[in-house]
Amino acid sequence: MGVRLMVVDDHRLLAEALASALKLRGHRVLAAAAPAAGAAELVISRAPEVCLLGTATPAEPGTFDPVIRIKRERPQVAVVVLGPVPSPRGIAAAFAAGASGYVRHDERIEGVERALMKARAGEAAVAPSLLQGAFSELLNPAAQPDDEGQRLLQMLTPREVEVLVRVADGEDTRLIAAGMGIAPSTARTHVQRVLMKLGVGSRLEAAALAARTGLLDRAGPVAPSTTPAPTPESPNPDS
């Protein structure tokens, strides 16, 4: 029997992709919402069995405030957090807020589905490897943890970072071009360069990687674009 659920994530493209994949697997998705800031009100009003709540910053203060409110007003709703590889503080904060599970952003859809089913059944939905990794970090903290998000950010030019943010927000080539004041052919070139530098094969994979590593939060909001000068790789001047 399918799960009656809601998918909430700050990045609309990810929320809609997850919702579509779960619908195809027989689950009833009541809504795919963004941003996560409005999650509590939506979940409280619709009362799903499970809420899949995406976050790129599980260790940040206030990240799980929506979970606290949901569990206070709709205690029967199970919340499963979808986030990056958690630090001990991040995973502890999720469960302290009342979450029933934690799933990594790069988990296969089968793993996400198993977590939803376990959470609905009232079980803790977290992979043993995540718990083991969290305890290992607590016992043997790394002096200088590898910051994958910062490393990836340094690989991209400022314009490519803006393109990535727009891709994660669900913009197609036409919207990217209009928002940045460039030709569609130039926008396509920037997108392909971003995919190549990140080592992924699709826009969805790029958005998922950026969210998982916290790259999007480091990039900050998209700034208004000015009209760029013509570039050698673009057959037409930008407008």
Residue with the larger pLDDT of the pair 223 and 72: 72
Question: Are the beta carbons of 53 and 116 closer than 8 angstroms?
Answer: no
Mean pLDDT of 166-172: 89
pTM of the complete model = 0.58
Residue 236 is predicted with a pLDDT of: 45
Q: How far is CA 111 from CA 79, 102, 126, 177, in A?
A: 15, 11, 10, 36
C-alpha 35/C-alpha 174 separation (Å) is: 23
196 contact partners, CB below 8 Å, separation of at least 6: none
* 201 pLDDT above the threshold of 50: yes
DSSP-derived pairing of the beta strands 101-104 and 50-54:
unpaired
In which order are the strands placed within the sheet that holds 78-83? 28-33, 4-8, 50-54, 78-83, 101-104, 125-126
What mean pLDDT do residues 178-193 have?
93
Which of 7-11, 34-38, 75-79, 159-163 is the most confident on average?
Answer: 75-79
pLDDT in tens, 91-128: 878 888 999 999 988 888 999 999 999 999 999 888 77
Residue 182: other Cβ atoms inside 10 A: 25
